[in-house]
Chains A and B, each alone.
Chain A
């Protein structure tokens, strides 16, 4: 990395905790913004899925937070931050199937312990920082492979 890629777009989306009526709204809006900016369809899809998982985590488990969208020439970043309870054991939470979800979240079709693993599977890099009683910050990075024109549907980060 010699010269850093310039930032093309920055947008901050507030997320209200427990607002199930609007949960998912930020994700669809993020996809709209990315499409408008001409970001590759494969990145738009992965970012949408990761954003939805992160947004649901904030809505279901915290009083609220925000999602920051950063679009660079070579990558897209999504930063999720909340003032929630924090994640006691991040390694455990990254394991597929591990969940602390209450019954009411499961009844909504969530909380099967696939959120963080799915965020990991659909991003190229996922960094998680959490402090008990203070909150959690997650940064997901998606590299743009613009030189690979059409074809090659694009595999998620392995």
Chain B
């Protein structure tokens, strides 16, 4: 799914990186806890859905080579953060929708969840059931 379609489906607008609207998103991961993003996402090209708007969100997106960040609940990060994202080629979008609705809409339109990295304490347990 392209970022452009993501935006249309959830009524989001681009804050940065609109020129990258045709970028393909392979999967999505939703969390407000950046520690979980860092510990669990293993693929590149993933869309992060979050209500966290600190400067570190964009740094995490950069370090993990995410496809973009979609802020929910109408959240918008500080101007300096948006400018940094624009300069770093990290698309930022914002939607007034809640996280649950946003995820539901994208999932039912075919955007799968990111494959989860097993945590160090989960080695003996079976993974989550496939969708």
Contacts and interface: CB of A to CB of B under 8 A. Distances in A.
A49 to B, nearest CB: 6
Contacts of B32: 109
Interface in A45-77: 45, 48-49, 51-53, 56
A31 B44 CA distance: 15
Contact of B38 (A21, A49, A96): A49
B59 A28 contact: yes
Give the interface size class of chain B: 20 to 34
A56 to B, nearest CB: 7
A50 B88 CA distance: 20
The B interface is mostly helix, strand or loop, or mixed, namely helix
B100 interface: no
A137 interface: no
B34 A109 contact: yes
Given A96-B121, A117-B119, A121-B120, A23 B56 contact: yes
Contacts of B119: 96, 114, 117, 121
B108 interface: no
Interface in B41-98: 44, 52, 54-57, 59-60, 62-65, 80, 88
A52 B39 CA distance: 11
A52 B54 contact: no
Contacts of B9: none
Nearest to B41: A49
Contacts of B121: 96-97, 117
Nearest to B50: A109
Interface in B19-43: 32-36, 38-39
A111 to B, nearest CB: 7
Given A45-B65, A96-B119, A112 B60 contact: no
B21 to A, nearest CB: 23
A82 to B, nearest CB: 18
B56 A56 contact: yes
B87 to A, nearest CB: 11
A118 interface: yes
- Which 3 A-B residue pairings sit nearest by Cβ, starting from the closest? A24-B59, A109-B34, A112-B35
Interface of A: 20-25, 27-28, 31, 45, 48-49, 51-53, 56, 96-97, 108-115, 117-118, 120-121
8 contacts: A24-B60, A52-B63, A96-B120, A108-B34, A108-B54, A110-B34, A121-B39, A121-B117
